[in-house]
Each structure stands twice: as structure tokens, then as C-alpha cells.
Structure 1
Amino acid sequence: MSTAEKVKISPFDASDYLDSEEAIASYINAAMEADDQDVLLLAIADVAKSRGMAQVAKDAGLGRESLYKALKPGAKPQFETVSKLMHALGIKFSAVPDRKTR
């Protein structure tokens, strides 16, 4: 490849691939397994983006700016906010035994 032929690379955007309920659930579960709040917030943001940020904010009873603020890395949203977002996205939290701790 010559220097005149440049490769065009598009940035990866997970929200482009979150096109089914199963894909979304798997993505959120994987983020929760990372045990990192910022990873989970990023995953929720990706799902919200795939559904439309304005609509998700409306469904969660939040302002659009509040949604972006709650999901930015380093944010410390209240559990109530995360719960409203998960509900608006049609995602449920569930608990399973952690066999690694025993």
C-alpha cells in the first residue's frame, strides 16, 4: 500500500450492534461482571444511544442533559436514577450466587 492509499477506519460504536433484547441483556451483563461502575455506565449509555437518548431520558423522567451527566465516566448517579434508566430501557437487575466468593 502506498502512502497515497490511506486506510479509512471508523471508530467502533457498540450502540450500532445493540439491535436485539438479547444483545442488550448480554452487553449489560458483561458490563456488570467487570465490577467497574464506569464500565456499567458506559454500557447503559451505549444502550440508551441505541434506543435514542432523548426518548430514554423522557421514559426515565429525566432531562436529556441530566441523562448525559449521569452516564459520563466518573459520575456517581444515585441508585434511583440507574433504576429508572434500566426500567426505561426494559432491563431488569437480577441476582445470582457468586460461587467465586465461597
Structure 2
Amino acid sequence: MTTKLTQVNELEDFNIAAHLDSPETIAAYLTDILESNDPALLAAALGDIARAKGMTEVAKCSGITREALYKALRNNSSPRFETVSKVCSAFGVKLVAQPRF
């Protein structure tokens, strides 16, 4: 049996947006991201989801302009809670607090 080696540069880039296809998947992804307690990572994750759903559609559903969404949901930004809340609503998910164990 021969083993074929694959070079890193031959691998396709992973695109999380292709896997964010349901409110349940989106909620699980956001829950994992929120556990990091990193606003910049949250902004990037929200951007991933917005691109998966279509930025124009998210803008329309959230009442936020596309330009403002791109700015608020870029890597290393710190979106306001109001923005996060509106965007999550457009995604069909809500943020929920749980006790730490």
C-alpha cells in the first residue's frame, strides 16, 4: 500500500460559511464562539454567518445597511450589543445566558 503525501498548498481553504445552513448549526457555532469571550472573534463569526446567509438579506432583515454590517462584522472589530442582537435576530437565533458550571 502506498501513501500519497499532500502538500499544504494543495489543500482547499476551509470555508465555514458553507456549513452554516440552519438556525441550529448557526446557534451551535455562535455558542462555541461566545465561550471564547472575545468580541473580535464574535464579530468575525457573525461576519461568516452573514456571508453564508447573504449580506444583502441580513441587512434587510436586521435594518442595518450593508456597509455598516461589513464594518461592524469585520475581523478585529467590537460590534455594539444592539448590532449583535439585530444580526442574530436576522439569522433566526437568539442569545441565551446559561449558568457556568
- Common fold, TM-score beyond 0.5? yes
Residue matched to 1:4: none
Q: Which residue identity is paired with 1:9? A: L
Kindly report which structure 2 residues correspond to 1:50-61, keeping only aligned pairs within 5 A, or say none: 50-61=52-63
Q: Which residue identity is paired with 2:60? A: K
Residue matched to 1:91: 93
* Ranges in structure 1 where 5+ consecutive residues have no aligned partner: 2-6
Deviation, structure 1 residue 77:
2.1
Residue matched to 2:38: 36
Partner Cα separation in structure 2 for residue 21 and residue 87 of structure 1: 10
If asked which structure has higher relative contact order (CA below 8 Å, sep 6+), I would say 2
Deviation, structure 1 residue 78:
1.7
Residues 43-96 of structure 1: CA deviation (Å, up to 9, x unaligned):
111111111011101111111111000011222222111111111111101111
Kindly report which structure 2 residues correspond to 1:63-78, keeping only aligned pairs within 5 A, or say none: 63-78=65-80
Give the number of equivalent residue pairs. 94
Q: CA RMSD in A?
A: 1.5
TM-score (norm 2): 0.84
Residues 1-59 of structure 1: CA deviation (Å, up to 9, x unaligned):
7xxxxx63221110011122221111010000111111111111111111101110111
CA contact (8 A) 2:62 2:90 kept: yes
* Ranges in structure 2 where 5+ consecutive residues have no aligned partner: none
From 61, 64, 73, the equivalent of 1:62 is 64
Is 1:23 paired with 2:17?
no
